[in-house]
Amino acid sequence: MSEEKNLNNESPLSLLIHRRLSRRQALQYGLSAFLASAMPGLGQAETLKGLIGFKAIDIAHLIDEVIVPEGYDARIFYRWGDPVSDGPSFKIDASNSAQEQLQQAGMHHDALQFFPFPTSLEQEQSNHGLLVMNHEYIDPQLLHADGGFMDSPESYSAEKVKKEQYAHGVSVIEIKKTEDWQIVRPSTYARRITARTAMSVSGPVAGSDFIRTSVDPQGKEILGTLNNCSNGKTPWGTYLTCEENFNGYFQLATAEMLDERQRELMQRYELGTSYYGWQQHDKRFDLESEPNEANRFGWIVEFDPFDPASKPVKRTALGRFAHENVAHKVAKDNRIAFYSGDDAKFEYIYKFITEKSWDGSLGAQNGQLMDEGILYVAQLNENGSGIWLPLVFGEGKLTSEAGFSDQADVLVHARLAADYLSATPMDRPEWITVNPDSGDVLVSLTNNSSRGQQDKPNAHSANPRANNQFGHIIKITEQDASSTHFNWDVVVLAGDKQSDSTIRGDQYANPDGLMIDKRGVLWVQTDVSSMRLNTGSFAQFGNNQMLAVDLNTQETRRFLTGPIGCEITGVTMTDDQKTMWVNVQHPGEVPSILKQKGVIKSPQHPNAASNWPDKKPNGRPRSATVVITKRDGGVIGT
- Tell me how far, at minimum, the Cβ of 45 lies from Ca ion, in Å: 37
- Tell me how far, at minimum, the Cβ of 552 lies from ligand FEO, in Å: 29
Task: Write out the binding residues for Ca ion, residues 418-447 only, by CB under 5 A.
Answer: 430
Beta carbons of 8 and 422 less than 8 angstroms apart: yes
Task: Write out the binding residues for ligand FEO, residues 553-572 only, by CB under 6 A.
Answer: none
Report if residue 427 touches ligand FEO, rule: CB under 6 A: no
Pairing between β-strand 521-526 and β-strand 511-516 as defined by DSSP bridges: antiparallel
Write the Ramachandran bin of 51: left for phi over 0, alpha for psi from -120 to 50, otherwise beta. alpha
Report if residue 550 touches ligand FEO, rule: CB under 6 A: no
Residue 489 binds which entry of Ca ion, ligand FEO, none, CB below 5-8 Å type-dependent: none
- Tell me how far, at minimum, the Cβ of 244 lies from ligand FEO, in Å: 5
Instruction: Tell me, letter by letter, the H, E, C secondary structure of 432-475.
Output: EEECCCCCCEEEEECCECCCCCCCCCCCECCECCCCECCCEEEE
Beta carbons of 440 and 38 less than 8 angstroms apart: yes
Q: Which is nearer to ligand FEO, 195 or 369 (CB)?
A: 195
Pairing between β-strand 555-561 and β-strand 545-550 as defined by DSSP bridges: antiparallel
Residue type, 370: M
- Tell me how far, at minimum, the Cβ of 437 lies from Ca ion, in Å: 25
Query: In 10 A of CB 572, how many CB atoms?
Result: 23
Q: Which is nearer to ligand FEO, 244 or 440 (CB)?
A: 244
Report if residue 527 touches Ca ion, rule: CB under 5 A: yes
* Beta-bridge mates of residue 376: 351, 390
- Tell me how far, at minimum, the Cβ of 557 lies from Ca ion, in Å: 22
Beta carbons of 222 and 311 less than 8 angstroms apart: no
Q: Which is nearer to ligand FEO, 126 or 134 (CB)?
A: 134
Q: Which is nearer to Ca ion, 427 or 512 (CB)?
A: 512
Residue 100 binds which entry of Ca ion, ligand FEO, none, CB below 5-8 Å type-dependent: none
Greatest distance between any 2 Cα atoms in the chain? 68
Q: Which of 64, 100, 136, 409 is close enough to bind ligand FEO by CB under 6 A?
A: 136
Q: Which is nearer to ligand FEO, 323 or 329 (CB)?
A: 323
For ligand FEO, what does the binding mask look like between residues 599 and 638, x meaning CB under 6 A?
----------------------------------------
- Tell me how far, at minimum, the Cβ of 527 lies from ligand FEO, in Å: 7
Contacts of 353 (CB under 8 A, 6+ apart): 331, 335, 336, 337, 373, 374, 376, 481, 482
**Stretch near Ca ion under the rule CB under 5 A, chosen from 75-83, 192-200, 483-491, 525-533:** 525-533
Q: Which is nearer to ligand FEO, 323 or 557 (CB)?
A: 323
Report which DSSP code applies to 59. P
Asked if omega into 186 is within 30° of 0 (cis), the reply is: yes
Asked if omega into 613 is within 30° of 0 (cis), the reply is: yes
Report if residue 130 touches ligand FEO, rule: CB under 6 A: no
Q: Which is nearer to ligand FEO, 107 or 387 (CB)?
A: 107
What does each C-alpha distance from 14 to 17, 19, 452, 461, 500 come to in angstroms?
A: 5, 9, 13, 12, 19
- Size, binding site for ligand FEO by CB under 6 A: 6
Q: Which of 512, 517, 550, 589 is close enough to bind Ca ion by CB under 5 A?
A: 512
Residue 371 binds which entry of Ca ion, ligand FEO, none, CB below 5-8 Å type-dependent: none
- Tell me how far, at minimum, the Cβ of 288 lies from ligand FEO, in Å: 28
Q: Which is nearer to Ca ion, 266 or 474 (CB)?
A: 474
- Tell me how far, at minimum, the Cβ of 571 lies from ligand FEO, in Å: 14
Pairing between β-strand 128-135 and β-strand 169-177 as defined by DSSP bridges: antiparallel
- Tell me how far, at minimum, the Cβ of 351 lies from ligand FEO, in Å: 18
Report if residue 430 touches ligand FEO, rule: CB under 6 A: yes
Instruction: Specify the long-range contacts of residues 445-454, CB closer than 8 Å, at least 24 apart.
Output: 445/471, 445/472, 445/473, 445/474, 445/511, 446/343, 446/471, 446/510, 446/511, 446/512, 446/527, 447/471, 447/509, 447/510, 448/345, 448/346, 450/345, 450/346, 451/345, 451/346, 451/427
Q: Which is nearer to ligand FEO, 82 or 136 (CB)?
A: 136
Residue 243 binds which entry of Ca ion, ligand FEO, none, CB below 5-8 Å type-dependent: none
Report if residue 343 touches ligand FEO, rule: CB under 6 A: yes
Q: Which is nearer to ligand FEO, 111 or 252 (CB)?
A: 111
Query: In 10 A of CB 125, how many CB atoms?
Result: 17
CA distance 340 to 433: 10
- Tell me how far, at minimum, the Cβ of 97 lies from ligand FEO, in Å: 28
Q: Which is nearer to Ca ion, 174 or 430 (CB)?
A: 430
Q: Which is nearer to Ca ion, 105 or 111 (CB)?
A: 111
- Tell me how far, at minimum, the Cβ of 324 lies from Ca ion, in Å: 6
Q: Which is nearer to ligand FEO, 164 or 343 (CB)?
A: 343
Residue 244 binds which entry of ligand FEO, Ca ion, none, CB below 5-8 Å type-dependent: ligand FEO
Residue 136 binds which entry of ligand FEO, Ca ion, none, CB below 5-8 Å type-dependent: ligand FEO
For the chain, what is the radius of gyration of the CA atoms? 23
Q: What is the DSSP string of 510-548?
A: -EEEEEE-TTSEEEEEE---TTTTTSGGGGGG-S-EEEE
- CA proximity to 132, closest of 247, 234, 246, 224: 234
Task: Write out the binding residues for ligand FEO, residues 222-261 only, by CB under 6 A.
Answer: 229, 244
Beta carbons of 304 and 180 less than 8 angstroms apart: no
- Size, binding site for Ca ion by CB under 5 A: 3
- CA proximity to 79, closest of 619, 506, 613: 613
Q: Which helix (H) or strand (E) holds 625?
A: strand 624-630
CA distance 235 to 169: 22
CA distance 51 to 61: 28
The values of phi and psi at residue 321, to 5°, are -165, -175
Q: Which of 324, 371, 440, 550 is close enough to bind ligand FEO by CB under 6 A?
A: 324
For Ca ion, what does the binding mask look like between residues 371 and 410, x meaning CB under 5 A?
----------------------------------------
Nearest residue to Ca ion, scored by beta-carbon proximity: 527
Beta carbons of 620 and 142 less than 8 angstroms apart: yes
Give me the residues that bind ligand FEO (CB under 6 A), please.
136, 229, 244, 324, 343, 430
Give me the residues that bind Ca ion (CB under 5 A), please.
430, 512, 527
